[in-house]
Amino acid sequence: MKIMHDDKRVLYMGRYDRTADETRLYYAGSQIKLRFRGTSLSMSFLASVMWGNVSIGAVIDGKITAVPLIAENNGKEITVPIAGGLENREHDAVIYKRHSSNYYLFVRGFETDGEFLEPEPLPELKIEVYGDSVCAGEVSEAVEYVGKNDPENHNSVYDNVWHSFVMQTARALNAQIHNICQGGIALFDGTGYFHYPDTLGLESVYDKTCYFPEAGEATIWDFSRYVPDIVIIAIGQNDQHNAVTKTNDRNISDPEYRKKWKGKYIEIVRDLDRHYKTAGFILTTTVLMHDADWDNAIDEIAAELNGMGIKTYHNMFSRNGAATPGHPRIPEHNEMAQELTEFIRKNMSEIL
């Protein structure tokens, strides 16, 4: 049995663009949910790999697997097996974009040797995240490097957004999630590391669906398509880096820069609040080591937003900014997910 990308039995979670031929996924953690009866599942799609050793992620009946992508297939429609050799019974499948701008994924259709079934509806609770490489689960699977710098020349092989603390938190709360995350991103264009040397910041990404030039012309997101209950913003890790001077000369302790950075951060939150009206905002960084004064500035931002009538919380992990010089690994993501889940249940119980 074959079905097209836009069949009612295919559910998507995450921002996407759609044409008559395909559904286009850009952000890490964008998901496709299917239910089928049969022994196999395959997907037809176009993808282009920009860099790295990358894969499409899949979870079949709770078991995590991956489908490798290669640059030789860039721009070609291909059909690949997602699962095979299954028992001939009902199965639940989640197919997800495992990496961020390493590749794009344009979905065309699906096939099983059995039949596709009506899926379970998506959860009612909705979470949205704006974050960096930690939210994208980069290098999370290098578990032998817990508390250490990243392995050299890892080439994205250890990346898996499924393990990210924000993805875990959404699953723990039985929530939908739109994960607007990108490795290396900072608040401002010209800072951070994303799309180096002409770096793009959150200010140019937060309102986009197609957000990196290699995937095509930028497309504006219609915020009415997804109105979250909880918005998590995890920005501040990469902001000291000035992509113009190639040095870490953006100093949050400098009064002039602090005012500028806080002003743009507040501007973005106010714009999101204008679209969402009743959402609660959680501002945070992560356990990845960084200057604590970024967190102090975020605390000031939270206070100012609350003063404007925007419900805002500042989350601080127990080992915030102090746990590891490299990307958090799965155990550290587990730690953050547990703490963030508890933080939400304690402070935002009226939303749950």
On whether residue 135 sits in a domain, the answer given is yes
How many domains, the chain?
2
In degrees and rounded to multiples of 5, residue 277 shows phi and psi of 70, -60
CA distances from 237 to 77, 124, 125, 182, 185 (A): 37, 31, 28, 12, 8
> What is the C-alpha to C-alpha distance for residues 168 and 176, in angstroms, rounded to an integer?
11
pLDDT score recorded for residue 76: 96
Q: Are residues 145 and 163 in the same domain?
A: yes
Query: Which of 117, 150, 184 is the C-terminal boundary of a domain?
Result: 117
In degrees and rounded to multiples of 5, residue 90 shows phi and psi of -75, 140
Q: Are residues 336 and 199 in the same domain?
A: yes
DSSP 8-class letter at 291: -
Q: Are residues 281 and 306 in the same domain?
A: yes
* Predicted model pTM: 0.98
* β-pairing verdict for 11-13 and 115-117: unpaired
Q: Are residues 260 and 278 in the same domain?
A: yes
Q: Are residues 55 and 197 in the same domain?
A: no
Q: Are residues 67 and 165 in the same domain?
A: no
On whether residue 305 sits in a domain, the answer given is yes
Query: Which of 82, 117, 152 is the C-terminal boundary of a domain?
Result: 117
Q: Are residues 47 and 145 in the same domain?
A: no
Q: Are residues 161 and 106 in the same domain?
A: no
Query: Which of 65, 86, 117 is the C-terminal boundary of a domain?
Result: 117
Q: Are residues 113 and 144 in the same domain?
A: no
Residue among 53, 46, 55, 10 at smallest CA distance from 28: 55
Per-position pLDDT tens, the chain of length 352? 999 999 999 999 999 999 999 999 999 999 999 999 999 999 999 999 999 999 999 999 999 999 999 999 999 999 999 999 999 999 999 999 999 999 999 999 999 999 999 999 999 999 999 999 999 999 999 999 999 999 999 999 999 999 999 999 999 999 999 999 999 999 999 999 999 999 999 999 999 999 999 999 999 999 999 999 999 999 999 999 999 999 999 999 999 999 999 999 999 999 999 999 999 999 999 999 999 999 999 999 999 999 999 999 999 999 999 999 999 999 999 999 999 999 999 999 998 8
The CATH number assigned to the domain holding 48 equals 2.60.120.260
pLDDT score recorded for residue 352: 86
Q: Are residues 83 and 197 in the same domain?
A: no
Q: Are residues 216 and 324 in the same domain?
A: yes
On whether residue 352 sits in a domain, the answer given is no
> What is the C-alpha to C-alpha distance for residues 155 and 162, in angstroms, rounded to an integer?
18
Q: Are residues 141 and 211 in the same domain?
A: yes
What is the extent of the structural domain holding 109? 2-117
In degrees and rounded to multiples of 5, residue 83 shows phi and psi of -155, 150
DSSP 3-state percent helix, strand, coil across the chain (nearest 5): 25, 30, 45
On whether residue 8 sits in a domain, the answer given is yes
Q: What contacts 314, CB < 8 A, 6 or more positions away?
A: 282, 283, 284, 295, 298, 299, 302
From start to end of 26-86, where are the E strands?
31-38, 41-49, 55-60, 63-68, 78-83
The CATH number assigned to the domain holding 258 equals 3.40.50.1110
Residue among 286, 282, 293, 283 at smallest CA distance from 327: 286
For 262, the 3-state DSSP assignment is helix
